[in-house]
Structure formats: structure tokens, C-alpha cells
Amino acid sequence: MGLQGLCRLMSRFNSYKRTNIILQHLKMSNHTDAAAEVLLERKGCAGVITLNRPRFLNTLTLGMIRQIYAQLKKWEQDPKTFLIIIKGAGEKAFCAGGDIRALSEARNTNQKMLQDLFREEYILNNAIDSCQKPYIALIHGITMGGGVGVSVHGQFRVATEKSVFAMPETAIGLFPDVGGGYFLPRLQGKLGYFLALTGFRLKGRDVYTAGIATHFVDFEKLGMLEEDLLALKSPSKENIADVLETYHAKSKTDQDKPFILEEHMDKINSWFSANTVEQIVDNLQQDGSSFALEQLKVIKKMSPTSLKITLRQLMEGSSKTLPEVLIMEYRLSQACMKGHDFHEGVRAVLIDKDQSPKWKPADLKEVTDEDLNDYFKSLGSNDLKF
């Protein structure tokens, strides 16, 4: 072979080699992207969980739930890990909930996923509540549904002026799960019942005032707070609380601003003390104020079945332990997956986006106690177990 032929052969070989390297890199990139939905890192004295789907507002997938649970259990037993921090990537959201569109799509293709996701998510919620290490959730940005589940059960929750909290599930034919039946009825007065039935959004310092967050810190100081927590040497729970309290005390944003619902709380406590959704609706109609009529308009858009499930869920949950509530909510989740309204809600809000769900039944009166009992009944050997 002449010199020119050898050069051509070497050129083809190098081109082939480069192509192979590029293909390998692409495969690795795809793998890394899939594996990086959640980042689990040891930093300083802490284990740090970063929900890493900013394009999707850090919504939770089953894979993320499994990774977080496994790592949480490891850190809990690790003598070098003194606290656990969870946060969201990007500035828009801590976590906007679970991937409900994927849930709805799985109805006809993957029934097991519907069981596994709810079961494992609720087991994670309970593990956070019972975690032996201080657990700190930095709930900056949108914090809804599943995002509330991986934060509110922790020992410390830090809100910022950009925090947005809501449990909007009745608008999509679901109910405020992830332990909503436990923490919502334990908020001041009937605030939790109001938030659960209307999906009302709390923002900024109001998330702290309502009791969802334990501390409030200005967003621009959040990075410094995390650094100071990571720099602690073998900290006790009290040392961690002192750092959080110091930052909280220095945060002046909206410090003198009254709670957004303050002027309405007496009425909210009265309206939402009723034992039936129908009576709550009557209370709002009879009041007739602009605020009451605004809430009435919102409630009338929600799934009648979801409204009735939610009220009973909170009433029963008010005297249950968190594990008992999660067992109840798992039963409700599986019944809702088999029903009509959740899939119709997802269609109307996320798929067709016509915002006009056709609920079945369409009227509160048509949702009977017998219907409700079916949602709450035991699943026997398929019940959630801890």
C-alpha cells in the first residue's frame, strides 16, 4: 500500500474512532440526564437532595422517589451525616407536585405503576416525618402536592418571599394527599379545610404565618444559610435551629404585612366548620360578601366527588396518626385512579387545556354516602403497610 492509501485508511479510521467517541458520549449524556433527575450529595456535615427537573418545575417521578428514600435511609444511619437538606434546582419551583399526566397515561398501560408510585411516595412521606436526623426543606418557589409531601413532614421548612404553597387537587378530581389529611386539619382554626377545598394559594411570608413553613428567610440569603448549615461541625438539633432562627430574625421582607386571610379568618372558621360540603356552600351563599362569593365560585368549579372525599378525609384525619392517614389516602388514591374525575381533570387542565372538566357526578347531591364509603374501604392485603 502506498503512502497516499495509508493516509486515506488512517483518515477513515480516525473518523470512525471520532464517531464512536461521539456516540459513546451521547449515550453517556443520555444516561447522566436520566440519572440526574435528583442529585444526592454529601456536603460538609449534611446530605443534600436537589430535585433536578427545573424544566418540569421539579415534579416528582417514581425513580426520584426511590432514589431519595434509599439515600435518606443511608444518611439516617451514617454517623458523619448530621442533617439532611432538600431543595429544588432553578428559581421557579421547589417542587410543583407529582407527574400527574404520567399517572393518568398509566391507567391503561401500567396499573402497577399507579400502585407503586402512591405506595412508595407515601412511605417516603412517613420516612421524612420519622427521620432521626434534622431534615430541612428549602421551599423556595412553587411548592404544591407532592412537593408539600417531601417538605411539610420534615422538622424544618424554610420559605422565602417567592414561595407559593397550594394543595389544588380538587380541581383535577383528586384530593390533597401526601399526608394532607394529617397536617391540614392541624393548621389554625379551619384554615386547612379552606385551603384543601378551594386550592387557595399562599405566597411568601404567608406560607410561614399559616404554619406550613417553620422559618422565613429572604431569597438572596438562602445560599448563605445553606453554606452556614453545611459548615457546622457535628451540630446538634439545637445548633441547627439556632442558625435558622438567626436568619429568620434578620429577614425583614413583608415583616409588618398582615396575613392575607387575617380579616377573613373568623368567617372561614365559621363557614368551614360545617360537617357537609353542601352546608359549607350554603354558608358561603348566605354570607353573600364578595370574598364568600369568590370562594363559592371556586368551589363550584371543583369535582363534587373530590370535595366530599376531601372534607371527610380531613375530618377523619384530624384524629389519626400520620401512618393511619397515609393508609387511608392510599385507599383513596387507588379508588380515584379507577374513577372518572381524575382522568377528566388531567385532560381538561393539562392535555386539552380547555379548563372545562365534565365531572361525573356533576352535582354534590349526586355523590352519596354510599359512593364515598367505596373510596374509603379497606384494600385488604393490598393496603399500604409500614
Residue 97 annotated as part of some ligand binding site: no
Catalytic residue among 47, 97, 98, 147: 98
Concerning whether 223 is annotated as a catalytic residue, the answer is no
Catalytic residue among 177, 206, 226, 329: 177
Q: Which CA distances in Å does 346 have to 167, 170, 364?
A: 15, 11, 20
Catalytic residue among 44, 146, 147, 345: 146
Residue 169 annotated as part of some ligand binding site: yes
Concerning whether 339 is annotated as a catalytic residue, the answer is no
Spatial neighbors of 140 by CB under 8 A, at least 6 apart, are 87, 88, 91, 94, 158, 159, 160, 162, 163, 219, 222
- Alpha-carbon gap, residue 247 to 23, rounded angstroms: 48
Concerning whether 363 is annotated as a catalytic residue, the answer is no
Catalytic residue among 37, 99, 169, 341: 169
Spatial neighbors of 311 by CB under 8 A, at least 6 apart, are 193, 196, 197, 276, 277, 280
3-state secondary structure (DSSP) of residue 297: helix
- Alpha-carbon gap, residue 383 to 376, rounded angstroms: 11
Spatial neighbors of 337 by CB under 8 A, at least 6 apart, are 103, 107, 114
Q: What is the residue whose three cell numbers read 412553587?
A: 142
Residue 149 annotated as part of some ligand binding site: no
Report CA 243 to chain centroid distance, whole Å: 26
Residue 147 annotated as part of some ligand binding site: no
Concerning whether 98 is annotated as a catalytic residue, the answer is yes
* Residues making up the binding site for substrate: 121, 146, 169, 177
* Residues making up the binding site: 121, 146, 169, 177
Q: Report, as residue numbers or ranges, the catalytic residues.
A: 98, 146, 169, 177
